[in-house]
């Protein structure tokens, strides 16, 4: 009887403490919500950056201005612990470009893809490789050898329904693997919109020229190849490549009980030179800055340290986040990182997502408290992961990653994210505010949690996670498959 009474008493005390903790968390979340709704500076800061700085290409004068701009913002919000984390890398910038079809001397409007060679003067036969997937090459392994590949940036309608699209850099790597001398990728977006971005899976120079052309030009060339059977194309380009120094920008809120444990809240600050970086990744980077501003303004001090990190070099191959992770490994502090929350083109999240299923209880519990503040939050946890953003180096080291889920960006926005039609007017101001308030709640909720069930994965567990999420093929193509 006494045992039962003691068990009941213990249960009552634990339940009461849990309820009290929930009440405290809801109160904190309401304060975050009110602060962001009434005083968010994310949109105005992003607008100022796009207007005064323009693009934020890593290693460029504009990139350095953006790094200082972010540093100064953190300082203006009262952060004393703000620092630059410098890293060296191979930089790239475009020079001249000419793309022609030689039989009719027609110039094709095009942009060079990053990490294309410094100097090229190539004339060769053009060959249609469909969607540029490995299955397209395996159908005729010698077809691309010595030729310029024409391939779609997406997956063509007549492709295998189960076919999974690859990143432009992976399609370029396949073209190189099968002996191509160059590659023309045509955009999925109508209206002659040109998409830039890296064509390198490693962040280093590639051996063949890679360009993007418009959808209409790509389809016209595809038709010419089908009717004529042979089309000759020429690509002439000059580019700059050489060593650069760039800087991640880091602001810290030191934990009270477990200061050595860290929650990294990150997003990349850099952008491509054709765009202002409003969408990619202004809406992520300036959301991260405003999350930091909000928690600092409210003087919130969670159990664990939160590091707000703005990475440079993401667009060139995750250079800044790789440098951050490598530094943590060298300093023997990699185990201190309990979570990495990544915000890359995140807009108007209605749920949370994480790389490992073990995150579900904590994320859903936090999400339930978010719902108590705003019922628009749906709290449909998603356990999934992918590649090609700054969470990747952390994830490959077994660190749990996550961020916003159930996000939305319109087709018009996505059509312009790496193009010259990218502009601050495309930014969904209310969606950006929602990103800040819900994500600030998530970051604080994790940092202040009594326990974090999700642990750093072992190497074999990372391998299993990659296989589960069907990431083995792209990791093999990029050379990041170590198993």
pLDDT of residue 5: 42
Contacts of 51 (CB under 8 A, 6+ apart): 424
Query: Tell me: the pLDDT tens digits for 437-452?
Result: 999 999 999 999 999 9
Q: Which two tokens stand for residue 154?
A: 């997406």
Provide mean pLDDT across the span 377-403: 97
pLDDT of residue 23: 87
- CA–CA separation, 19 and 26 (whole Å): 10
State how far Cα 23 lies from the chain centre: 34
Provide mean pLDDT across the span 173-179: 98
Query: Tell me: the pLDDT tens digits for 179-237?
Result: 999 999 999 999 999 999 999 999 999 999 999 999 999 999 999 999 998 999 999 99
Q: Is the Cβ–Cβ distance between 303 and 448 less than 8 Å?
A: yes
Q: Is the per-residue pLDDT at 11 higher than 50?
A: no
Interhelix angle 429-447/360-373, nearest 10 degrees: 130
Q: Is the per-residue pLDDT at 10 higher than 50?
A: no
Half-sphere exposure (Cβ direction) of 287: Cα atoms closer than 13 Å: 38
Provide mean pLDDT across the span 62-88: 98
Provide mean pLDDT across the span 354-364: 97
Name the fold adopted by 96-238: Glucose Oxidase; domain 1 (3.50.30)
pLDDT of residue 407: 97
Q: Torsions phi, psi of 67, nearest 5? A: -60, -45
Q: Torsions phi, psi of 141, nearest 5? A: -60, -25
239: left (phi over 0), alpha (psi -120 to 50) or beta: beta
Q: Torsions phi, psi of 460, nearest 5? A: -70, -35
**CATH 3.90.1640.10 is right for the domain spanning 37-81+254-478:** no
User: Between these two residues, 102 and 474, which has the higher pLDDT value?
Assistant: 474
Domains of the chain, residue spans:
37-81+254-478, 96-238
pLDDT of residue 376: 96
Q: Is the per-residue pLDDT at 358 higher than 90?
A: yes
Write down the mean pLDDT value for the chain: 95
Provide mean pLDDT across the span 448-468: 97
Burial (CB count within 10 angstroms: exposed 0-12, middle 13-18, buried 19+), residue 37: middle
Encode 443-479: b = buried (16+ Cβ within 10 Å), e = exposed. bbbbbbbeebebebbeeeebbebbeeeebeebbebbe
Contacts of 331 (CB under 8 A, 6+ apart): none
Q: Is the per-residue pLDDT at 359 higher than 60?
A: yes
pLDDT of residue 102: 86
Which has the closest alpha carbon to 447: 402, 480, 481?
402
Query: Tell me: the pLDDT tens digits for 304-343?
Result: 999 999 999 999 999 999 999 999 999 999 999 999 999 9
Encode 299-320: b = buried (16+ Cβ within 10 Å), e = exposed. ebebbbbbbbbbbbbbbbbbbb
Q: Quick check: pTM over 0.75?
A: yes
Q: Is the per-residue pLDDT at 6 higher than 50?
A: no
pLDDT of residue 285: 98
- CA quadruple 390, 393, 396, 398: dihedral, nearest 10: -90
pLDDT of residue 104: 73
Q: Is the per-residue pLDDT at 455 higher than 60?
A: yes
Q: Is the Cβ–Cβ distance between 119 and 240 less than 8 Å?
A: no
Q: Is the per-residue pLDDT at 2 higher than 60?
A: no
Q: What percent of the chain has pLDDT over 70?
A: 96
Contacts of 80 (CB under 8 A, 6+ apart): none
Pick from 9-13, 18-22, 288-292: least confident: 9-13
pLDDT of residue 229: 86
> Does residue 281 have a cis peptide bond before it, meaning omega lies within 30 degrees of 0?
yes
Sign of CA dihedral 15, 19, 24, 30: positive
When pLDDT is cut at 50, 70 and 90, the band that residue 111 belongs to is: very high
Query: Tell me: the pLDDT tens digits for 266-281?
Result: 999 999 999 999 999 9
């Amino acid at each position: 009887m006494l045992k039962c009474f003691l068990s009941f008493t213990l249960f009552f005390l634990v339940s009461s403490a849990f309820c009290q903790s929930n009440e405290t968390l809801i109160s904190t979340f309401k304060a975050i919500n009110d602060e962001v709704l009434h005083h968010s500076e994310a949109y105005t800061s992003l607008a100022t950056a796009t207007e005064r700085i323009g693009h934020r290409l890593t290693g460029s004068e504009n990139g350095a201005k953006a790094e200082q701009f972010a540093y100064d913002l953190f300082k203006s919000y009262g952060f004393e612990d703000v620092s630059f984390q410098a890293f060296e890398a191979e930089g790239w910038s475009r020079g001249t470009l000419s793309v022609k079809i030689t039989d009719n001397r027609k110039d094709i409007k095009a942009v060079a893809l990053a990490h294309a060679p410094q100097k090229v003067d190539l004339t060769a036969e053009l060959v249609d490789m469909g969607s540029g997937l490995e299955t397209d090459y395996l159908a005729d392994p010698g077809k691309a050898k010595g030729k310029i590949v024409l391939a779609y940036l997406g997956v063509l309608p007549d492709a295998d329904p189960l076919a999974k699209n690859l990143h432009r850099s992976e399609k370029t790597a396949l073209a190189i693997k099968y002996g191509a001398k160059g590659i023309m990728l045509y955009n999925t977006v109508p209206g002659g919109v040109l998409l830039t971005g890296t064509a390198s899976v490693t962040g280093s120079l590639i051996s063949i020229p890679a360009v993007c052309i418009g959808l209409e030009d790509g389809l016209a060339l595809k038709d010419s190849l089908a009717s004529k059977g042979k089309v000759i194309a020429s690509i002439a380009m000059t580019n700059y490549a050489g060593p650069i120094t760039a800087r991640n920008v880091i602001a810290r809120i030191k934990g009270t009980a477990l200061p050595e444990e860290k929650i990294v809240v990150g997003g990349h600050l850099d952008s491509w030179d054709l765009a202002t970086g409003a969408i990619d990744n202004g809406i992520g980077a300036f959301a991260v800055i405003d999350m930091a501003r909000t928690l600092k303004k409210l003087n919130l001090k969670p159990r664990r340290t939160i590091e707000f990190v703005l990475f440079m070099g993401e667009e060139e191959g995750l250079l800044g986040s790789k440098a951050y992770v490598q530094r943590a490994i060298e300093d023997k502090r990699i185990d201190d990182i309990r979570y990495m929350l990544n915000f890359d083109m995140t807009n108007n999240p209605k749920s949370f997502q994480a790389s490992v299923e073990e995150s579900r209880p904590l994320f859903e519990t936090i999400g339930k408290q978010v719902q108590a503040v705003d019922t628009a939050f749906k709290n449909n946890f998603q356990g999934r992961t992918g590649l090609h953003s700054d969470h990747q180096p952390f994830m490959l080291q077994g660190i749990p990653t996550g961020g916003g889920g159930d996000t939305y960006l319109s087709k018009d926005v996505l059509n312009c994210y790496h193009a010259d039609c990218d502009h601050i007017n495309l930014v969904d101001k209310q969606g950006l505010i929602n990103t800040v308030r819900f994500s600030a709640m998530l970051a604080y909720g994790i940092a202040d949690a009594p326990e974090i069930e999700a642990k750093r994965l072992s190497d074999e567990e990372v391998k299993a996670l990659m296989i589960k999420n069907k990431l083995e093929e792209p990791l093999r193509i990029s050379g990041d498959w170590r198993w």
